[in-house]
């Protein structure tokens, strides 16, 4: 009975994984295209004159990108990738009738006579793919609920799977070469199960493992390198939201600060006011990185708050002189991205 059950599990899961991706990529775009167009129309109806705001026309073009034709290539690519990796995961071992795949067999597959280097590499890659696919399901469900899927979503998920599986193979090579202690990774000597767990977690969050490896290798950290400012330092941006923003090329606070809030509104489920707040926070962090964290609890959350606050009060909060405050505001006034932010804010406030 158990043997018959196992004989159905592998082919069923191998087929279901790519079919899930294909269904999400082909059935949702038509619905989402109508949703995005209606959102843009409601925005124009709610705020008179917003059509004149910078970025509104490009936001209309973004709404057109949700047509099915724009999804065909990225969905086909992701489906093909998932098909290959799911077949490898559930048919890669081919060792025992009761354990034809790495997922059901686990670490026992690579023990005894079958414990060899290539087998363990494939096993770690398989578990990394499983972790990445579970993360993909979480991401897609979140996107479906928030009605926010675009063609770049599937490209980004494909890259995430590719990064996760590659890092898993590299992780095995690192342990085989004895570099785990050098990089500060937990020892997995003679413990393939621990390596498999780490591969699975790498699939769930490959960026964390990549950052860990990068920080462990000092020659990847040149002296004088500017510190990166991750999107998750912005209040209201979760890890899932940060991943969505990366699809737009916004991989840090530096990029977010230069983004038009209307375009951001079209590519995320957030309201236009929330997008305005995110960009304002990013501009404040980028312009005054040493002061932004301290100013937040004092009521200066965004660059708009900073610019609107009285000079004397701002001088007391920052410890600057009146001349320094005036110079700081003058620099802000000359920034094109802040001019766009202030213009949009004026339109939104005037329409309320």
Quickly list DSSP for 25-42: HHHHHHHHHHHHHHHHHH
What pLDDT does residue 114 have? 42
* The pLDDT value given to residue 189: 53
Write down the pLDDT at residue 134.
93
pLDDT at residue 113, rounded to an integer: 45
| Burial track 114-141 (b if 16+ CB lie within 10 A, e otherwise) | eeeeebbbbbbbbbbbbbbbebbeebbe
What is residue 162's predicted lDDT score, i.e. its pLDDT? 93
Instruction: Provide DSSP, 289-318.
Output: TTTHHHHGGGT--SHHHHHHS-HHHHHHHH
pLDDT score recorded for residue 98? 42
Per-residue pLDDT tens digits of the chain, which is 352 residues long: 555 555 667 777 788 888 888 888 887 777 776 776 777 777 777 666 666 665 555 555 655 666 777 888 889 999 999 998 888 887 765 544 444 455 544 445 555 444 566 677 788 888 999 999 999 998 888 877 777 777 888 888 999 999 999 888 888 777 766 665 555 555 555 566 778 888 898 898 888 787 777 766 655 555 555 556 788 888 888 877 887 788 777 888 888 888 888 878 877 778 888 999 999 999 888 888 877 777 777 778 888 888 888 888 878 877 788 888 888 888 888 888 888 888 888 877 754 4
- Give me the pLDDT at residue 351, please: 46
The helix or strand, by DSSP H or E, that contains position 72, with its residue range, turns out to be helix 72-91
Helix, strand or coil for residue 96? strand
State the Cα–Cα distance between residues 161 and 165, nearest whole angstrom: 6
pLDDT of residue 52: 63
Q: Which residue has the tokens 């767990």?
A: 197
Q: Helix or strand or coil: residue 343? A: helix
Strands (E), 134-291: none
- In this prediction, residue 352 carries a pLDDT of 43
Q: What is the pLDDT of residue 179?
A: 61
Residue 158 to residue 132: CA distance in whole angstroms: 10
Q: Which two tokens stand for residue 206?
A: 């490959």
- Which has the closest alpha carbon to 197: 127, 133, 125, 122? 127
Cα–Cα distance measured from residue 323 to residue 164, given in angstroms and rounded to the nearest whole number: 51
Query: What spatial distance separates the first Cα and last Cα of the chain, rounded to whole Å?
Result: 67
């Amino acid at each position: 009975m158990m043997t018959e059950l196992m004989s159905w599990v592998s082919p069923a899961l191998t087929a279901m994984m790519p079919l899930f991706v294909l269904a999400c990529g082909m059935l949702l775009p038509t619905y989402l295209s109508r949703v995005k167009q209606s959102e843009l129309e409601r925005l124009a109806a709610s705020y008179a004159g917003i059509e004149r705001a910078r970025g509104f026309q490009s936001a209309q073009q973004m709404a057109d990108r949700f047509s099915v034709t724009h999804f065909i290539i990225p969905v086909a690519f992701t489906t093909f990738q998932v098909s290959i990796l799911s077949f490898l995961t559930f048919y890669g071992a081919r060792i025992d009738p009761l354990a034809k795949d790495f997922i059901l067999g686990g670490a026992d597959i690579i023990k005894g006579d079958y414990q060899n280097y290539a087998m363990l590499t494939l096993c770690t890659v398989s578990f990394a793919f499983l972790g990445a696919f579970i993360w993909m399901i979480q991401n897609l469900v979140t996107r479906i609920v928030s009605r926010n899927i675009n063609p770049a979503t599937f490209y980004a998920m494909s890259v995430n799977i590719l990064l996760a599986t590659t890092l898993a193979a590299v992780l095995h090579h690192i342990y085989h070469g004895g570099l785990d202690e050098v990089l500060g990774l937990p020892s997995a000597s003679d413990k393939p199960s621990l390596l498999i767990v780490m591969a699975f977690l790498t699939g769930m969050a490959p960026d964390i493992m990549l950052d860990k490896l990068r920080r462990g290798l000092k020659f990847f950290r040149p002296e004088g390198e500017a510190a990166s400012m991750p999107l998750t330092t912005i209040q209201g941006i979760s890890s899932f939201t940060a991943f969505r923003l990366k699809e737009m090329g916004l991989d840090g606070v530096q990029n977010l600060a230069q983004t038009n809030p209307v375009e951001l509104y079209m590519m995320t489920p957030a309201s236009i006011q929330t997008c305005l707040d995110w960009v304002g926070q990013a501009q404040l962090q980028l312009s005054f990185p040493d002061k932004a964290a301290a100013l937040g609890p004092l009521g200066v959350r965004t660059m708009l708050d900073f610019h609107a606050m009285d000079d004397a009060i701002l001088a007391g909060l920052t410890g600057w002189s009146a001349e320094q405050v005036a110079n700081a505001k003058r620099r802000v006034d000359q920034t094109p991205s802040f001019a766009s932010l202030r213009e949009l804010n004026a339109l939104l406030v005037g329409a309320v």
